[in-house]
Structure 1
Amino acid sequence: MHQTGILYIVATPIGNLQDITQRALETFAQVDLIAAEDTRHSGLLLSHYGIKKPFFALHDHNEQQKADLLVEKLQQGTNIALISDAGTPLISDPGFHLVRKCRQAGIKVVPLPGACAAITALCASGIASDRFCFEGFLPAKSKARKDKLQNLAEEDRTLIFYESTHRILDTLQDIEDVLGAERYIVLAREITKTWETIIGDSVAALRQWLSEDPNRTKGEMVLIIEGKPKAENEEFSPQAVQALTLIAKELPLKKAAAIVAELYGYKKNALYQFGLENLG
C-alpha cells in the first residue's frame, strides 16, 4: 500500500528574507507541491532561494473547494508545503479548512515554526505578554468595528490586531471612542523591514502623530493595546457580600456570582474573583 503524503505548514519571512529558517528551505526542496495564497508573490521568495516547485493557489475564496483536492493528492502520496504571503499560515490567513480536513482524514500535519507578525510585535511592545488575545483584523465598517471593540472593552488581557494602511486612522478614532483616549497602545509598522517603526503612546497621541505625516500610515501594521486596568479592590455592599455567601452555599460560586451581579449591578467576574479569595 502506498504511503500517504505529509502536509507541512511552513512559516515564511514577514519582510526580511533572512528570516527564513534552514528547515523551511530543506522542506521546500523535498516536497512535491507548494500550496500558496498568492503564487506570484511566493514565487519571488522561492526564486530568491533557487527553489523551483509546482504551485497550487489556495486562498480565502477557493479554500473550501480546493481543500478536498489537496487532501486527495496527499492520500495519493504527494508531500505538500502550505505557505501564506508572509508569516505563519492560518494566522489571519487561509489554511484552516485544509488542516482540519487533513486531520479528519488521518493525514500527518507537520508545523514548521517561524516568523509571525503578531508575536514579533508583542515581544517588542513592552505591554504584558503573559496573557494576550489575538483578534486579527477588525471589521472594515466603523459600526461593526465599534461593536467588536465594545465586546472587548472589559478584556484585561493585551489585545493584538492587524490593520491596513487606509483604515488605520479611522480605526484609532474608533478605539479612542470605545476604549478611551488614554488607553496605552503600541503601533508596530513594517516589522523586520527597512522602515520598521515601533511607537507606543496613548491612543489619542498616537493618532495625532500618525496624522501629521502620511508616510507614517504606510505599510503592514500591528496594533498592541494594553488590557483594561483592573479596578482597585472594587467595593461590594455588605448586602451583596451576604447574598453571595448564602447563595454560594447552595449553588456553584460562578452561578452565585452571576445572580448577585444581576441583583446588585456588579460585574460577575469581579464578584466571582472576590468569592474565590474570600469564601474559599
Structure 2
Amino acid sequence: MALYLIPNTLGDSAIDSVIPSQIKEIVNSIDYYVVEDLRSARRYLKKLDIKKSIDELHFTELSEHTKQEEIPALLQPAKEGKNIGIISEAGCPAVAYPGALLVKLAHEQGVKVIPLVGPSSIILALMASGMNGQNFVFHGYLPIERIDRIKKIKQLEDNAQRLKQTQIFIETPYRNNHLFQSILENCNPNTLVCIAADITLSSEVIITKSVAKWKQTNPDLHKRPVVFLIG
C-alpha cells in the first residue's frame, strides 16, 4: 500500500512532453484517487490512456473547502492494502494544495508516500529566473486588499535584498495585471522581477528584468497562469 503523488500537466501540454511514461504504468495499479477537481482528474487519466474503466475508479475530492476532520477517511483504502493516488488540477500535488494535509497524515499512520516526477511551475520558474536557487521562499497568494498587498510586496522586496533570498508567489489569473502593476509601483527601480507565464505551454514566456526596464513594457498577464519572482 502506498500514497502516490501524481503530477499533472500545467495546462494543455502534450502529455508525452511533460509526463514520464512511468506514471502511465503506475496509474494502472491504482483504484482510489484523492483529487482537487473530479472532472479535470478524470480528463487527465483519460489522456494518460489508463487501461481501467474510469467509471470503476473511486474518486474523492480534497480541496480548500474540505474539513480537516474529513481527511482521515481518505486514507482508509491504504489501511485495507490499496494504493491511493493524489492528483491536483495542475502540477505537483501537495505543493500549494491541501493535499499536504493528507501526506502528513500518511506519515503519521505509517503509509508509504511516493512522489512521482513531473512539472512544478514553482521550481521551473525558479530554474529559469536566474535568481538565487539556494535561498528562496514560496509565499503562495499575496493579500487581496490593496494596502495589505503593498505592505507585503515591500516586505518581500526587503527580504530579497537583505537576505539575498528569492521571493516566489502567485495570483489568481484574472488579478495578475493588478498585482504586476502594484509590484512596479512599489518596488525600487533596480529590483529584479521575473514573470514566468504559461510554463511548458507553446505560449510560454519567462523574462527577468529590473523594475525600471519592466516599466518600459506592457505585458498582458490577464487570465494566464503566472509565477512571480522578486530577487
Q: What is the TM-score normalised by the length of structure 2?
A: 0.85
Give 1:109's aligned residue: 113
* Counterpart contact for 1:169–1:210, Cα < 8 Å: no
Q: Return the match for 1:91 from 88, 95, 110.
A: 95
The reply to whether residue 14 of structure 1 matches residue 13 of structure 2 is: no
Taking the TM superposition and a 5 Å limit, the aligned residue runs for 1:93-172 are 93-155=97-159, 156-172=164-180
> 2: distance between equivalents of 1:49 and 1:153?
41
Distance 1:86 1:117, change over 3 A: same
> 2: distance between equivalents of 1:77 and 1:63?
25
> 2: distance between equivalents of 1:91 and 1:175?
24
> 2: distance between equivalents of 1:64 and 1:28?
26
Q: Return the match for 2:188 from 175, 180, 186.
A: 180
> 1: distance between equivalents of 2:95 and 2:215?
26
> 2: distance between equivalents of 1:23 and 1:75?
25
Q: 1:161 Cα deviation (Å)?
A: 1.3
Q: 1:204 Cα deviation (Å)?
A: 5.0
Give 2:22's aligned residue: 23
What is the aligned-residue identity percentage? 31
Instruction: Find the residue that maps to 2:60 and give its secondary structure.
Output: strand
Q: 1:207 Cα deviation (Å)?
A: 5.4
Is 172-181 or 75-84 further displaced after alignment? 172-181
> 1: distance between equivalents of 2:211 and 2:173?
17
Structure 2 spans left out of the alignment, 5+ residues: none
> 2: distance between equivalents of 1:148 and 1:206?
20
Q: Return the match for 2:84 from 80, 85, 109.
A: 80
Number of residue pairs aligned between Structure 1 and Structure 2:
219
Q: Which of these two proteins has the greater Rg computed from alpha carbons?
A: 1
The reply to whether residue 45 of structure 1 matches residue 50 of structure 2 is: no
Query: Counterpart amino acid of 1:9?
Result: L
Query: Counterpart amino acid of 2:23?
Result: A
Is 5-14 or 138-147 further displaced after alignment? 138-147
Considering only aligned residues, what root-mean-square deviation do their CA atoms show, in Å? 2.0
Q: 1:62 Cα deviation (Å)?
A: 0.9
Give 1:219's aligned residue: 224
> 2: distance between equivalents of 1:146 and 1:7?
40
Q: 1:63 Cα deviation (Å)?
A: 5.2
Whose relative contact order is higher, 1 or 2, with alpha carbons under 8 Å and at least 6 apart?
Answer: 2
Structure 1 spans left out of the alignment, 5+ residues: 227-280
Q: What is the TM-score normalised by the length of structure 1?
A: 0.71
Query: Counterpart amino acid of 2:2?
Result: I
Q: 1:193 Cα deviation (Å)?
A: 0.9
Distance 1:40 1:208, change over 3 A: farther
Q: 1:205 Cα deviation (Å)?
A: 4.0
Query: Counterpart amino acid of 2:44?
Result: L
* Counterpart contact for 1:173–1:207, Cα < 8 Å: no
Q: 1:42 Cα deviation (Å)?
A: 1.6
